[in-house]
């Protein structure tokens, strides 16, 4: 009898441990909860693994994980921009993941070369321009936006934002530091106003006639087009920057397993799930992004944007050159 009791005691302890420790993950997400909840719900339904979501801005999550150190309960970091993921790896917050599924699903352009992070969606940094004031035949690559013909006409947010830091890093990688700095200097001269607000605000300023060309992420534009902001676009058009030397700048949102993750296997399962066909469709469509898995259908508004030629750079370059990019932006007075 004594043995039977002990047996049940051990068994119930195992069940409790399993429930408490094995069947959950802690997700630190810079992606807003409403964009990720449908996916975590689906994952829980499929696997029984509960997902505890903590959302905050990318930099806040980074600081929190640093602060928590070895005691951190974070399993998965979900964030925008290859630059943010690169920084997390650079601060030794991540662990490398070995996964045949992720290897086969995610192109090497969109992940860390040593599998410390993986892209899950793509966004292009595109131009929106005023059809009445810009000759579309004059539009080329990002480089041409520094030409004197665009003086006082370009709208873009602050260089303190990582989207621009990654774009500048991309320019440095393509053209070298000297040429990239000349470009940035010319671009700043062409600003329609001091950088203010986010990407959406550049589009609003453009529609209000404050400038002629806005440089913004594709999903903001698609998102605005699918809401009551639709009429803003009556006289605006989309252009994917491209010239003989450089294609469109694409960035990612992506995920990584944290170094001190208590639930590593579940964390990997979750990222693999996000790379599955079903999840990729939802992940991209819910925020008007391009799926990282190219076979998946893109959101219908992005289909209307038309095709683009993406640059051949590895997104890992953005983080590597980000501190150079920030210094460059300071030197040319890009606020
Ligand atoms: Fe964004």
Instruction: Give the pLDDT score at 22.
Output: 65
Residues 217 and 256 in one domain: no
How far, in Å, from the CA of 284 to the mean position of ligand 1?
13
Say yes or no: 268 and 206 in one domain.
no
Neighbouring-strand partners of residue 26: 52
Q: From the CA of 124, how far away is ligand 1's center (Å)? A: 11
Distance, first Cα to last Cα, the chain = 76
Distance 23 CA to ligand 1 centre (A): 31
Do 210 and 276 sit in the same domain of this protein? no
Rounded distance from Cα 56 to ligand 1 centre (Å): 13
Q: Do 34 and 114 share a domain, yes or no?
A: yes
Long-range contacts of 324-331 (CB under 8 A, 24+ apart): 324/169, 324/172, 324/177, 325/165, 325/166, 325/168, 325/169, 325/172, 326/159, 326/165, 328/168, 328/172, 328/177, 328/180, 328/181, 328/184, 329/159, 329/164, 329/165, 329/168, 329/184, 330/159, 331/181
Question: How would residue 152 be classed by pLDDT, with cut points 50, 70 and 90?
Answer: very high
* Parent domain of 95: 2-122+252-299
Residue 113's domain is classified under what CATH number? Answer: 3.40.190.10
* Per-residue pLDDT, 17: 46
Q: Do 174 and 224 belong together in one domain?
A: yes
Backbone angles phi and psi of 126, in degrees to 5 = -110, 175
pLDDT of residue 18: 45
Residue 11 pLDDT class (50, 70, 90 cuts): low
Mean pLDDT of the chain: 94
Does position 52 have pLDDT exceeding 60, yes or no? yes
The pLDDT tens digits of the residues spanning 72-123 come to: 999 999 999 999 999 999 999 999 999 999 999 999 999 999 999 999 999 9
The larger pLDDT score, comparing residue 16 to residue 318, is at: 318
Global confidence as pTM: 0.93
Q: How many domains does the chain have?
A: 2
What is the tens place of the pLDDT at every residue in 189-207? 999 999 999 999 999 999 9
Instruction: Using the mean position of ligand 1's atoms as its centre, give its distance from the Cα of residue 287 in Å.
Output: 10
pLDDT at 237: 97
Instruction: Give distance in angstroms: CA of 59 to centre of ligand 1.
Output: 13
Are 319 and 175 in a shared domain?
Answer: yes
Mean pLDDT along residues 2-26: 59
207, 138: one domain: yes
In the prediction, which pLDDT does 63 show? 98
Q: How far does residue 249's CA lie from ligand 1's centre (Å)?
A: 15
Per-residue model confidence as pLDDT tens digits over 295-304: 999 999 999 9
Arithmetic mean of pLDDT, 217-232:
92
Q: Are 206 and 324 contained in the same domain?
A: yes
Q: How much distance in Å is there from the Cα of 90 to the middle of ligand 1?
A: 22
Distance 1 CA to ligand 1 centre (A): 62
Which residues does 164 contact at the CB level (< 8 Å), separation at least 6? 156, 157, 158, 329, 334
Same domain, 311 and 295: no
Task: List, as one string, the DSSP characters of 25-71.
Answer: EEEEESS-HHHHHHHHHHHHHHH--EEEEEE--HHHHHHHHHHHGGG
| 329 CA distance to ligand 1 middle (Å) | 20
CA of 97 to the centre of ligand 1 (A): 26
Cα(43) to centroid of ligand 1, in Å? 24
E strands, 72-225, are 76-80, 94-95, 118-130, 154-155, 213-217
């Amino acid at each position: 009898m004594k043995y039977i009791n002990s047996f049940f005691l051990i068994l119930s302890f195992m069940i409790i441990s399993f429930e408490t420790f094995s069947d959950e993950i802690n997700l630190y997400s810079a992606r807003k909860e409403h964009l990720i909840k449908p996916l975590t719900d689906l994952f829980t339904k499929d696997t029984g693994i509960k997902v505890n979501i903590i959302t905050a801005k990318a930099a806040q999550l980074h600081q929190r994980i640093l602060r928590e150190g070895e005691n951190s309960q974070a399993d998965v970091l979900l964030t925008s921009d290859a630059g943010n993921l690169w920084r997390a790896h650079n601060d030794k917050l991540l662990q490398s993941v070995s996964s045949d599924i992720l290897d086969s699903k995610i192109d090497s352009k969109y992940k860390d070369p040593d599998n410390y992070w993986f892209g899950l969606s793509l966004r292009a940094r595109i131009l929106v321009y005023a059809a009445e004031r810009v000759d579309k035949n004059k539009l080329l690559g990002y480089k041409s936006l520094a030409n004197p013909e665009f003086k006082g006409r370009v709208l873009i947010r602050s260089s303190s934002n990582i989207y621009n830091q990654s774009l500048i890093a991309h320019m440095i990688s393509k053209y070298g530091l000297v040429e990239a700095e000349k470009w940035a200097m010319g671009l700043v001269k062409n600003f329609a106003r001091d950088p203010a607000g986010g990407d959406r605000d550049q589009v609003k300023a453009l529609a209000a006639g404050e400038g002629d060309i806005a440089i913004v992420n594709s999903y903001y534009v698609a998102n605005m087009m699918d809401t009551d902001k639709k009429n803003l676009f009556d006289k605006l058009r989309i252009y994917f920057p491209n010239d003989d030397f450089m294609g469109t700048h694409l960035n990612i949102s992506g995920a990584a397993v944290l170094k001190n993750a208590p639930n590593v296997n579940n964390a990997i399962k979750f990222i693999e799930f996000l790379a599955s066909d079903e999840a990729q469709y939802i992940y991209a469509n819910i925020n008007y992004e391009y799926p990282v898995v190219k076979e998946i259908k893109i959101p219908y508004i992005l289909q209307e944007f038309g095709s683009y030629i993406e640059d051949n750079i590895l997104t890992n370059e953005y983080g590597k050159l980000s501190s150079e990019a920030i210094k460059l932006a300071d030197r040319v007075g890009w606020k």
